[in-house]
Amino acid sequence: MDAEARLAAALGGNTAPARDPSFTLAVIRAAEADRFKVETTRAMLSAGAIAAAAAVLALSLAGWGALNWAGVQNGILGAAGIFALVATARLMTQRLAAATSR
Amino acid sequence: MNPHDEARLIAAARKGDSRAYAALVDAHQQAVRGFLRRFAGHWADADDLAQEAFVTAWRKLPRFEGRSSFRSWVSGIGFRIARDARRAHGRAQVRDSVWQSEQEAAEEGSPLEDRIAVQRAMEALPDEQRAVVALCLGEGFSHSEAAEILKLPLGTVKSHVTRGRERLLRALEPNNGR
């Protein structure tokens, strides 16, 4: 056997099998685990960001409310008045509708 | 696998179809593992590197532009992972892995002395040259595919093949210092 053929034979030995389901399965398992880890991290980061934004908003609203308590009271009274008006209007509309449908 | 089937499987895998990706892995694992076995020297390590290459490819699949074949693209990812791992592990580990691979080669039944001589000569080659030899002489990749995988100019690949082959042939000559 000449040197070229010996080299080809020596290099040709390190082949992997043409079909290897256990290797493919190991790759898919690792890939799925990797995807799960990435998606979990992403979900945790987005939930954390939303929670942090909500906390900042709530704190700033509380701070503003403490400084402008009179304004907050007026706002609450105004909102309650509007709510009462809307509720009364809806009640009257429903009664009117019931009366005309008879 | 023909290019049309491969493109269809890549498109499905991009949408998250793991069965399509399993078919791609199944079709190309032999070439990628064969290349990394010759490049990394140690079979078990090489198979771990090949697995890591396929997992990285799955993660990066949306960025695969299709300018090279899927096999070349994954081989390139594997080469960079293996090169970084070699740098991290250092020479001592490489020597250990050569010894272990020699024991594995002894079980193969082919000319043991030639295998050991070629493997030692491969270990002595610079990283890029070893990768070119593993791809072109070991796995039958074309010179242009090897150039694409290793991000090297075509002329450099050709000269690496010529010089690498000469050094491996010299290792097989009698009285070469063994």
Mean predicted lDDT score pLDDT of chain B: 85
Contacts of B55 in chain A (CB under 8 A): 27, 30-31, 34
For the range B62-69, what are the long-range contacts, defined as Cβ-Cβ under 8 Å and sequence gap of 24 or more? B62/B14, B64/B10, B66/B7, B66/B10, B67/B148, B68/B145, B68/B148, B68/B149, B69/B3, B69/B6, B69/B145
Full residue range of the structural domain in which residue B135 is found: 3-172
Q: Are residues A47 and A82 in the same domain?
A: no
Is A76 a domain residue? Answer: yes
Q: Please tell me which residue of chain A has the smallest CA distance to B41.
A: A14
Residues B74-125 pLDDT 10s: 999 999 999 988 877 665 555 555 555 555 555 454 578 888 888 889 989 9
Q: Please tell me which residue of chain A has the smallest CA distance to B167.
A: A7
Reported residue count of chain A is 102
Is A50 a domain residue? Answer: yes
Q: Are residues A53 and A31 in the same domain?
A: yes
Q: Could you give the ipTM of this predicted complex? A: 0.76
Q: Please tell me which residue of chain A has the smallest CA distance to B61.
A: A31
Residues B48-80 pLDDT 10s: 999 999 999 999 999 998 888 999 999 999 999
Full residue range of the structural domain in which residue A101 is found: 69-102
Q: Are residues A23 and A58 in the same domain?
A: yes
pLDDT at B104: 55
Q: Are residues A45 and A85 in the same domain?
A: no
Name the more confident of B91 and B128: B128
pLDDT > 90: what percent of chain B? 56
pTM over 0.80: no
Is A40 a domain residue? Answer: yes
Nearest to B43 by CA among B97, B117, B116: B97
Q: Are residues A56 and A84 in the same domain?
A: no
Is A74 a domain residue? Answer: yes
Is B91 a domain residue? Answer: yes
pLDDT > 70: what percent of chain B? 84
The band of B176, judged by pLDDT with boundaries at 50, 70 and 90, is low
- Report CB contact under 8 Å: B172, A18: no
- Report CB contact under 8 Å: A14, B37: yes
pLDDT at B3: 82
Count of the separate structural domains present in chain A: 2
Is A97 a domain residue? Answer: yes
Q: Are residues A79 and A54 in the same domain?
A: no
Reported residue count of chain B is 178
The band of A15, judged by pLDDT with boundaries at 50, 70 and 90, is confident
Residues 104-133 of B with CB under 8 A from A: 105, 108, 110-111, 114-115, 117-119
